Amino acid sequence: MRSWRLARTSMRRGFGLPARRFSAKTKPNFSQTSSNGVRYTVITASAIAGVGGIWWFTKPTRDTVPVIELQASKHTLNKPDLSSDEITQILSQEAYSFLIKGVSGVDRYDGTQLASNGICEDRFIHGKLPSPRDDDKPWMAWAIFDGHAGWQTADLLEKQLVPLVQQYLRQATIAFGEQSGYKEAIQQAITKAFVDLDSSIVETAQETAQSNLPFQEKMQKLLPAFAGSCALLSLYDPVTSNLHVACTGDSRAVLGQKNSDGTWTATPLSIDQTGSNTDEISRIQKEHPGEENIVKNGRVLGIMVSRAFGDGRWKWPVEFQNDMIKKFEAPPLRPGNESKTPPYITAKPVVTSTVIDPETPSFVIIASDGLWDMLTDQQAVTLVSTWLDSQTPFTTPSNSTTNHKPTYPPFDLSQISHNSTTGRFSEERTVLKDKENVAVHLLRNSLGGNHAELIGGRLAATYPYSRDLRDDITVQVAFFNCEGV
C-alpha cells in the first residue's frame, strides 16, 4: 500500500497541482488498521473536496440514476408473425387518395410509399399545377424521384424540379393551334428544366469546393452531387388531353386503356434507361468512341442507370473528381471502372406526349423500379383493372370483400434466387383486400399477395437486411374517365 505522501503527491500531480510535503509534526495520520490486521490508507471526503476541480463531489445533486426494471419484458424472441392487420398498417401508413374537381378528364388518384432503406431514398409530389397559359384551367402533376447512394438528390428534386419546369413552360412560345408545335415546345421546356437543374447540382460543386464557405456548409451543399436520383414526371393538360411524361432513369409510367371487349391494354409511356437498354448502350458508345467496357453486365461504369441527376463521379472531369475524393471524401467509382472522358451519364430526359381519349376509361401507373422489379406492365394494369371492377360506385370504395385464403408450404428464402420468379408477382397469389386505395393494392400484390409468409417476411425485415428482399417502393395511380366504370 502506498504511503499517504505518495498518494497525496500523485493525486495533486494528477490534477496539475504542485506536490506538497508534510513534516512529521504536521503530517495527518490517515493510516488505519482493519480488524483483520490489514493496514490501509483513508482519504477523507474533506481532503478530496479541498482539491480544485473535483466538482462532481461538491456539486449538490439528487439521485437521477435510472433503475433497471427486472420484470419480464413484453418483447420476446418468439414474437408471433405479423398479423393481417399489422401488414395492412405497414402497407397503408403512407397512403393517400384524392378525388379531383375542376380538372376535366381526371377523376381521382391514389398513392403510397414503402421504405426499405433506413431513410427512404424515394421522394414524390402530386397535385394541381397552375396552367402555363394562365387560362384558369390547372394541369395535374405527378412525380417520383428515386434516389440512390443517399436521399439528398431526390429531396432537392422534390423541392425544385417542378417549379423550374413550370417556369420554363411559362417562358416557352407554344403554338397551341398546331399540335406538333405544341408538343415540341412542351417537351423542350421540360427537357431544359431537367438539364439545367442537374447542371446546377453538378457544375456548381466546383464553385462550392473552391469557395470560402465553412467546411460543414460545403459538405451540405455537395451531398446532392455525391448522391443521385432518377426522375419521372407526368403532366396532364386538360385542354388538349395530353399526358406528358418525362423520364430520367428507370422509374416507369404505364398507361392502361380499356378495350371495347372489356379487356385492358398496357402501354409503356417511358422506357427504362439502364445499362441493359440497347439504345442507351449505343448512345453511350457513340459518345465515347474507342472506350471499351464502359457498359458491362448491364451497368455503366458500375451504375445501373444510364441517366440520372447528381452522381458527380460519372460526370466531373477526372482531375476534379480526384480532388473531391481527396478533400471531401467524395465517393469514387468502383474498382475496375476507369473514367477517361466523362460525363458518362446524363439527366436529359426522354419525353413522350400521349393523348388521353376522353371517351375511353384509362389510368396511368407511375412507380419507382421497386414495383417494376416485381411486376410486368401488363400484370400491373390487370391488377388495377381488377381493383377498378370491384368499385361500386367508383368514387365510394366498398370495404366488403371475400378472398379465398390458400395455404402454402413452409417458406424460406432458399426458394428465391436471382434466377427465380418465386419472389415476383404470381397471379395465383392475387388478393383483393385494399379497396380503399389501388396503390396499396398494387404494393401488397407485388410483395406476395395472399402468401402471408412471403409478404410478412419481407415486411418484418428491417434495414439493411430488407434491401435483399425489397427496394424502396413509391406508387401513384391516376384515373381518367373512369367514374362509373
> Closest Cα partner for 108 from 421, 373, 397, 400?
397
Residue 355 CA: distances (Å) to CA of 63, 172, 257, 358: 72, 20, 12, 9
Tell how many helices (H) and how many strands (E) occur in the chain: 14, 17
| Residue that the C-alpha cell 405544341 belongs to | 182
Q: Which three cell numbers stand for residue 67?
A: 433503475
- Classified as helix, coil or strand, 171 is helix
Q: Would you state the cell numbers that stand for residue 260, as one nine-digit string?
A: 371495347
> Which CATH code for domain 84-393+406-480?
3.60.40.10
Task: Give the pairing of strands 39-41 and 473-480.
Answer: unpaired
Q: Are 87 and 459 in contact (CB under 8 A)?
A: yes
Question: What is the pLDDT at residue 61?
Answer: 63
- 163, 168, 169, 175 alpha-carbon torsion, rounded to 10°: 180
Residue 461 CA: distances (Å) to CA of 116, 439, 466: 9, 21, 5
Give the pLDDT of the chain (485 residues) as one tens digit per residue: 444 444 444 444 444 444 444 344 444 444 455 445 544 445 454 444 455 555 555 565 677 888 888 866 554 444 557 899 999 999 999 999 999 999 999 999 999 999 999 999 999 999 999 999 888 899 999 999 999 999 999 999 999 999 999 999 998 865 554 556 788 999 999 999 999 999 999 988 889 998 999 999 999 999 999 999 999 999 999 999 999 999 999 999 999 999 999 999 999 999 999 999 999 999 999 999 999 899 999 999 999 999 999 999 999 999 999 999 999 999 999 998 999 999 999 999 999 999 999 999 999 999 999 999 999 999 999 999 999 998 855 444 444 444 567 888 887 877 775 445 568 899 999 999 999 999 999 999 999 999 999 999 999 999 999 998 999 999 999 999 998 66
- Of 234, 256, 267, give the one whose Cα is nearest residue 351: 234
Domain parsing of the chain, residue ranges: 84-393+406-480
What are residue 33's DSSP bridge partners? 39
- Biggest CA–CA distance in the chain, Å, is 115
Cα–chain center distance at 124: 9
Which residues does 293 contact at the CB level (< 8 Å), separation at least 6? none
Rounded-to-integer distance, Cα 208 and Cα 217, Å: 9
> Strands 139-148 and 231-237: what pairing?
antiparallel
Judge whether 480 and 106 are in contact, CB under 8 Å: yes
Which of helix, strand or coil describes residue 148? Answer: strand
Counted residue by residue, the chain has a size of 485
**What separation in angstroms does the CA of 290 have from each of 251, 278, 333?**
31, 18, 20
Grid coordinates representing 196? 439545367
Q: pTM of the prediction?
A: 0.83
Would you say 237 and 197 are in contact if contact means Cβ atoms under 8 Å apart? no
Which helix or strand (DSSP H or E) is residue 156 part of?
Answer: helix 152-171
Residue ranges in 315-437 assigned as alpha helix (H): 318-328, 369-372, 377-389
Nearest one of 219, 229, 104, 71 to 161, comparing CA atoms: 229
